[in-house]
Chain A
Amino acid sequence: MRITAAEKTATLQRIRSAGRKLFSSRGFEATTTRDVAKAAGIAAGTLFNYFPTKESLAAGLVLDALAAAKAEWESKRREGEPLAETLFAYVAIGLRYLRPHRKYVRPVIDTAAMPIADDANGGRTSLAAQLVAPIDDVLSGAAGDVPPLAPQLFSTLHLGLLSAWAADTSPRQEQTLALVDHATRMFADWFCSQCERITMPADASQPLQNGS
């Protein structure tokens, strides 16, 4: 039987919705792919046509949230915003959108470098690569020659912040906000010190190109 694109999209939505509910209510560890398939009203084997593992389903949910966060972050960027502030906003708005998924962010981080299914077009990417993609443009806008290590370093830093946030027990995870502030200022200072075009940390406040 041939499955139309519309049916495929509808099935995908049901799987995501079931996964989100079960991961949040039962927890990631206690939820099986069989549980998700049952809740989505499909056969257990069918689920694997869409997501090869439970982790990739969770990662897909996390990536969806981050994509929505990226759109908001771009709309909120201000002319002349210092680099540290841009980076802070990128991470912090991401955390805002990830809040409903907080219970299962940790297993996603554990497999961050692993390729995961991009269900929209069947391609594959990784969480780490997704996290750093928008920042590539920001860093290029702030300096002509981006230090080769910078994107990778930021990606690692970002994953570390996500991990700290997932374990943060302070009210509304306010300790993570302070940590993100610290980390992004530190990264911006390091980045500026590495760039020939920007020799002083104060130059991080140079206007950045909007949009990425």
Chain B
Amino acid sequence: MTISVADLIAAIPPDDDEEVREPLPALAHDPELQRVFAAISRRPVPVGALRRLWSLGGLQAQLAVAYGAYWVKGWFQNADARQRSLLETHVRAAVRLLSTMTYLRGTIMKIGQFLANVPDVVPDQIAEMLSRLYYQAPPMHYALLREHVHSELGADPEELFGEFDPTAFAAASLGQVHRARLKTGEEVAVKVQYPGIAQTICSDFRTLHALVLPLRLSKNWDNFKDQTADIRAVLERETDYEQEAENQRRARSLFTESDGIVVPRVFDRYCTKRVLTTEFIEGVHPPQWMKTNPPQELRDHFGALSYRAIWRMFFSGRSNYVDPHPGNFLILDDGRLAMIDFGCMRPYNDDEWDFCRQYRWTLLGREGYPVERLVRRGCMFKPDEAVDADQMRVIMEYNLWCWEPYLHDRVFDFGNGGFLRRGLDLLSEASKKRYTRGMPMVPLVSRQYFQTYSLMYLLRARFNVKRIGDEEARATGWDEMESS
């Protein structure tokens, strides 16, 4: 039997031996959840690598012990009791997981955000809890926020702005967001970064290296280092709100009124490396919107808009929008879509850009670009280096999966969870077999594919992917450019 992370999470036993007989409480009012939030709000972001490692280790140990306990207990339970027990342990595990991840914030929280989008990797109950990570992390208290803003912008928020709401309306992995009104009248969203979060990310990477130290012996160690360095560079850029402001200005210039895609304006006077002030947009995040049971036509509309926005930034912006999770999108009443976070952007260098063009041409069957050549280049194999046939198969299948929605000129149904599961299985197979060698950009590009398709799955959207992709490519003259 293969043991997955989901099995382990699900296997955390109840705190006592009593069986669950009461119906599950509404999660929002769950006293345990409230208690966890109260506890978290008194804890700072742990900035030391050792403390973070300890937190992670604690969770892993819980999971490991829990697995054994559940497995043994399962032999003695009838099916119904077992199902109830499982449901309860899912909720309890979700609370614990949320507690740990919210505490760690930063990089680890991003893993939580990713897991929340993926069907069947984590149970539904846990996915619902994880989805809170988008905009419900505990806020800094106002005195801390005021001091941080004063330090960054030279005055207290109430002096800088015409109005400033001391209560955050959204909190995420790196910062929290407050509504405010400029003295000139514009409504704005002021994002303030948790102090010390940049160092937290550096700590996370030291931790990651410590945890995977045994891999150093493998032949792919150097490649692994390159890939993690690439991820680290993107996350470090994400801690720089001046960089994010620049990304947002660039993204805003890529869209026109007729696209139906809104990128909020940046107010430079109120921006620093730790504070970002942008136009406030009123809208609903996709998970909340889906609870209103919107018709298929609207789901398709917003799915297509999201897809176009992501690919516009690729083809026209020459950047990978690494983090297209639902918390970064807003659905507006007038049918437009807003994108509200541009921290996680990865620009392509010339070599990568050329590879991307060759990649697309190869997968679309353009003549003269053999698949093997593509795989060799993407996996950074030397021309005379022998490549294992199984490795070639897995990588090819995975790449075809990434492009599957794009390969045919017809409506693609993202509502089919089997598609996403297939991709995860391929990724899992590649990881287990250590077929991870590749260009440094590969992990982040993979993440973008999964996040994009997860968003489409969340929306249960159906639309012609190829038509949108081709339109975006044509608009930039991509197909006419020569590749090496």
Contact A185 B195 (CB under 8 A): no
Q: Judge whether B148 and A177 touch: CB under 8 Å.
A: yes
Contact A177 B195 (CB under 8 A): yes
On whether the beta carbons of A92 and B199 are closer than 8 Å, the reply is no
The reply to whether the CB of A93 lies closer than 8 angstroms to some CB of chain B is yes
Interchain CB contact under 8 A, B196 and A174: yes
Chain A proximity of B171: nearest CB distance (Å): 15
- A189-B143 contact, Cβ under 8 Å, with A170-B199, A174-B151, A174-B274: no
Contact status B144-A177, CB under 8 Å: yes
Residues in B409-441 with C-beta less than 8 Å from chain A:
none
Residues of A within 8 A of B142 (CB): 78, 85
Interface status of B370 (Cβ within 8 A of chain A): no
The smallest beta-carbon distance between B148 and chain A, in angstroms, is: 6
B45 within 8 A of A: yes
Known contacts A85-B141, A172-B151: does B273 contact A178 (CB below 8 Å)? no
Please choose the segment from B10-18, B36-44, B55-63, B400-408 that sits at the chain A interface, where 4 or more of its residues have CB less than 8 A away.
B36-44
Find chain A residues with CB under 8 A from B194 CB.
178
**1/0 per residue B270-299: CB within 8 Å of A?**
000110000000000000000000000000
Interface size on B, residues (CB 8 A): 23
Most buried by A among B150, B152, B196: B196
Cβ contact within 8 Å between A174 and B195: yes
- Smallest Cβ-Cβ distance to A201: which chain B residue: B42
Is the beta-carbon distance between B147 and A84 smaller than 8 angstroms?
no
Given contacts A85-B142, A182-B44, contact A92 B147 (CB under 8 A): yes
- If A93-B147, A178-B196, A185-B43 touch, whether A202 touches B141 (CB-CB below 8 Å) is no
Interface flag for A181 (CB, 8 Å): yes
Q: Contact check, B42 vs A96: say whether CB atoms are below 8 A apart.
A: no
Whether B396 sits at the interface, judged by CB under 8 Å, is no
Q: Which residue of the partner chain B has the closest CB to A81? A: B143
Within A152-211, the residues touching B (CB, 8 Å) are 170-175, 177-178, 181-182, 185, 189, 201-202
Given contacts A172-B151, A175-B196, A177-B195, contact A88 B144 (CB under 8 A): yes
Assess the A202–B148 pair: CB atoms within 8 A: no
A19, CB-defined interface residue at 8 Å: no
Choose among A82, A170, A171, A181 the residue with the greatest number of B CB atoms under 10 Å from its CB: A181
B53 interfacial contact with A, CB 8 Å:
no
Contact of B195 among A78, A86, A89, A175 (CB under 8 A): A175
Contacts of B150 in A (CB 8 A): 96
Q: Shortest Cβ distance from A161 into chain B, in angstroms?
A: 13
Contacting pair B199 A175 (CB below 8 A): yes
Residues of chain A within 8 A (CB-CB) of B151 are 96, 172-174, 177
Between A88, A92, A172, A174, the greatest number of chain B beta carbons within 10 A of the residue's beta carbon is seen for A174
Q: Which residues of B contact A (CB under 8 A)?
A: 38, 42-45, 47, 140-144, 146-148, 150-152, 194-196, 199, 273-274
Q: List 5 A-B pairs, Cβ < 8 Å.
A: A76-B146, A78-B142, A175-B47, A175-B196, A202-B38
Residues of A in contact with B (beta carbons under 8 Å apart): 76, 78, 81-82, 84-86, 88-89, 92-93, 96, 170-175, 177-178, 181-182, 185, 189, 201-202
